[in-house]
Amino acid sequence: MKPFKPLVAAVASATVLAGLATPALADVTLRLSIWGSTQVPMLEEISARFTEQHPDISISIEPVPRSDYVTKLETSIVGGSGPDIFWNALPDRFLDLSRLGLIENLSEWMADDPIDLSPIAPRLLDAFTYDGSLYAIPKDFDTVGLWYNKGLFDAAGIAYPDDTWTWETLRETAIALTDLDNNVYGFVVNPGTRQGYYNFIAQNGGKVITDDHRSGFDMPETIEAIQFMHDLIHVDGVSPTIQQTEEVNPQTRFQAGQAAMIFDGSWRARAFDGDPNMMENARVAVLPKGVVRASSSGTLGYSINAGSEHKEEAWEFLKYLASPEVALIQASTGTVIPSHLDQAGVWVDAIPEFELQAFVEMADYAAVVSHSFNTPAWDQPTRVLIKRALAGDLAVEEAASDIAELMNKVLAAEPN
Amino acid sequence: MTRPAARRKERYEWNVVFWAYVLIAPTIIGEGLFALWPLVQSIYLSFTSWGVFGQVEWTGGANYARLLDDPEVYSALRNTIVISVASVAGTVSIATLLAVLLNVGVRGTSLYRVLLFLPVVTMPAASAMVWKWIFNGDLGLLNGALSVIGIDGPSWLTDRATALWSIVIVTIWNEIGIGMIILLAGLQGVPRSLLEAARLDGAGPIASFFFVTLPLLTPTLFFVVVTSTIGAFQMFDAIFLMIGPEGYALDSAQNLIFLFYKEGFIIGDKGYAAAIVLVLFLIIAIVTAVQFWLQKRWVHYG
């Protein structure tokens, strides 16, 4: 991916310039809260350009480790020291923030000052709509695809994965590619949600949360999907165990050439970019089809803190963040697939080696991650119980019925 | 005791008393603000249901009723006791042994002292990362060493049978240094004249250790036992950093303080979390009180 280095230089100089200009010009500093450090250079570029157009507003980017993000957001909003504008993810209490009026109702702002949202994928706008109003502007989205190691396929003389693949093809190919003498696994079962069971469950026609707001873990389709994952490890022996995967994660094993296939997100492209082995061998196909096609999709939006003292300025910045210009910066750096679907191709071309178009193709049937008002209350125990089922120390049906019970308790207590 | 104290008090000028209070004020205010006030708040919160965004609702004893009915609380309580008993026993016995060896005056005592004390001043996050690799099932140092003697070791931290004991090992490693330094100071306070007298009476090194040194060391031992027990009850970082909130082996190793963190800060049920931590507070208070009561039977103040 070539355009990145000059961009870093440009960003660095822009930041320095912006930094020098700040004391003289900026009257308001907006605090933007995000997690992780991957997108910081890109956001610095975006902020610098915005400040060029609005010399009286500067942006202070405040990155927080992902694991602390939700807690910090919750406590800072309650304590009145929250950021002016921040990244909002659906499972991170988006619904509660909207319901309690802790974030601005953007539909009301748009009534006076419209934004053209037509380039943004409707399913992303729907995801950030609560009670008929929009509460976050979708920034980007991701899908999960089948990353495969071309070199390992070539060595075994097996055809690359394509859109004709089913669960059965995945299983058989993984068996053929598994070569434990050389420490190569055909596939790695990821015990997590996004790269793991959310995909298998949806592909098998199961649900995490049903339409009538109950747990889907007592559906036979859901249980069957978990059982399929379990069997890949314990019957077919094509995947490392859950214990091994906790010690060496799937992407590390894939990067080391010890896994022929993994399920992983479009966000992994930036992480693999530049690794010579990955540039040469890592490719992406759509996920194999189960009963139906599905891929777990996440999305991130920008929300304005209702307690902010600079809402007008935050709104100006938000309008800029929703613009095609920002979508293009996000896409051309290869960082994320922008919410503006018409520019998804730019993202694919940013790192052409990986053949990333599969991620964009899957947007047609991608399902937004399961969430409810109180996601963290059922999500953490569910993850641990799934791991126990996949490790084989708890029967799949038993784990599923425990999950259903605990989820239903949480879901029943939620406002609805 | 009372008369000299009373007499001394008379001698104090009011401004001496005033300045004494001024000087301890930072500690008192800090302690009040950051320890006592949160304790009062926790007690209040334990009787409420506290929504994530601060909607507090009085629910009486509901959190405590739920707690008594929650199997996770009992397994966390069991793990807390195992970690505390095993790590305090391990820490105190190994630290005593090391302190005695260092007190004999081997060559390079100060070097050993530094090496053994290093874990105490090492960042918990850094040492946890190193231990994670030592415990790794396929690539770890520990299993590498075990394979030399023909043992195929487990994945220590991700195996539900060994995760708890791995935590105990790291806790002991972490605590030995501080215990050793304190015990060493205690040992150096044992009067040489007593040891010489014992030798003249014909006591060998073993006998003089058990009948002279050890009794005189008991006040120091008592201090080390009390503080390391409290520390072990509150052990958090090793579990958080080496197993993690979503770890497969988590529920086989989590203690009460971790359960408190999980309920309060991951799941977001702060009222319930407050009830859990108050139970832990009560346990620590009771255990410490019992230790102070028992000390009459084994601690000798020379």
- What is the value of ipTM here, to two decimals? 0.82
Structural domain contains residue A83: yes
What is the C-alpha separation between B240 and B253, in angstroms, rounded? 10
Q: Are residues A20 and A102 in the same domain?
A: yes
Tell me the nearest-neighbour CA distance from A11 into chain B, angstroms.
32
Structural domain contains residue A206: yes
* Joined tokens for residue B71: 């199997």
Residue A238, phi then psi, degrees to nearest 5: -95, -5
Q: Is B60 left (phi over 0), alpha (psi -120 to 50) or beta?
A: left
- Name the residue range of residue A311's domain: 4-142+298-353
Residues 6+ apart with CB under 8 A from A219: A206, A207, A210
- Contact between A336 and A140 under an 8 Å Cβ cutoff? The reply is yes
Q: Are residues A289 and A403 in the same domain?
A: yes
Token pair 């959310």 is found at: A198
Query: Which residues of chain A are within 8 Å of residue B248 when distances are taken between CB atoms?
Result: 191, 242-243, 246, 384, 387-388, 391
Q: Is A246 on the interface with B (CB under 8 A)?
A: yes
- Contact between A313 and A382 under an 8 Å Cβ cutoff? The reply is no
Q: Are residues A154 and A63 in the same domain?
A: no
Could you count the other beta carbons within 10 Å of the beta carbon of residue B200? 8
Nearest to A189 by CA among A221, A143, A141, A235: A235
Query: Which residues of chain B are within 8 Å of residue A242 when distances are taken between CB atoms?
Result: 158, 248
Q: What is the CATH number of domain B72-298?
A: 1.10.3720.10
What is the C-alpha separation between A57 and A53, in angstroms, rounded? 9
Cα–Cα distances (Å) from A68 to A65, A75, A102, A374, B53, in that order, read 6, 11, 19, 17, 16
Q: Are residues A221 and A196 in the same domain?
A: yes
Q: Are residues A30 and A120 in the same domain?
A: yes
Q: Are residues A154 and A100 in the same domain?
A: no
- Contact between A161 and A148 under an 8 Å Cβ cutoff? The reply is yes
Q: Are residues A124 and A167 in the same domain?
A: no
- Contact between A351 and A187 under an 8 Å Cβ cutoff? The reply is no
Subunit contact B245:A380, Cβ cutoff 8 A? yes
HEC profile of B132-153: HHHHCCCCCHHHHHHHHCCCCC
> Which domain-ending residue is among A306, A325, A353?
A353
Q: Is A82 on the interface with B (CB under 8 A)?
A: no
Q: Are residues A234 and A250 in the same domain?
A: yes
Q: Are residues A118 and A187 in the same domain?
A: no
Nearest to A402 by CA among A152, A223, A135: A223
Q: Are residues A400 and A259 in the same domain?
A: yes
Query: Which residues of chain B are within 8 Å of residue A247 when distances are taken between CB atoms?
Result: 136-139, 155, 157-158
**Residue A185: beta bridge partners?**
A259
Number of structural domains chain A divides into = 2
Nearest to B267 by CA among B28, B51, B2: B51
Q: CATH no. for residue A207?
A: 3.40.190.10
**What pTM does this model have?**
0.86
For chain B, the structural domain boundaries read 72-298
Collapse the DSSP code of A395 into the 3-class scheme (helix H, G, I; strand E, B; otherwise coil) and give the result.
coil
Subunit contact A74:B157, Cβ cutoff 8 A? no
Structural domain contains residue A59: yes
Q: Are residues A156 and A286 in the same domain?
A: yes
- pLDDT tens for each residue of chain A, 416 residues long: 333 444 444 444 444 444 444 444 448 999 999 999 889 999 999 999 999 999 999 999 999 998 889 889 988 998 889 999 999 999 988 999 999 999 999 999 999 999 999 999 999 999 999 999 999 999 999 999 999 999 999 999 999 999 999 999 999 999 999 999 999 999 999 999 999 999 999 999 999 999 999 999 999 999 999 999 999 999 999 999 999 999 999 999 999 999 999 999 999 999 999 999 999 999 999 999 999 999 999 999 999 999 999 999 999 999 999 999 999 999 998 889 999 999 999 999 999 999 999 999 999 999 889 999 999 999 999 999 999 999 999 999 999 999 999 999 999 988 86
Q: Are residues A156 and A120 in the same domain?
A: no
- Contact between A211 and A190 under an 8 Å Cβ cutoff? The reply is no
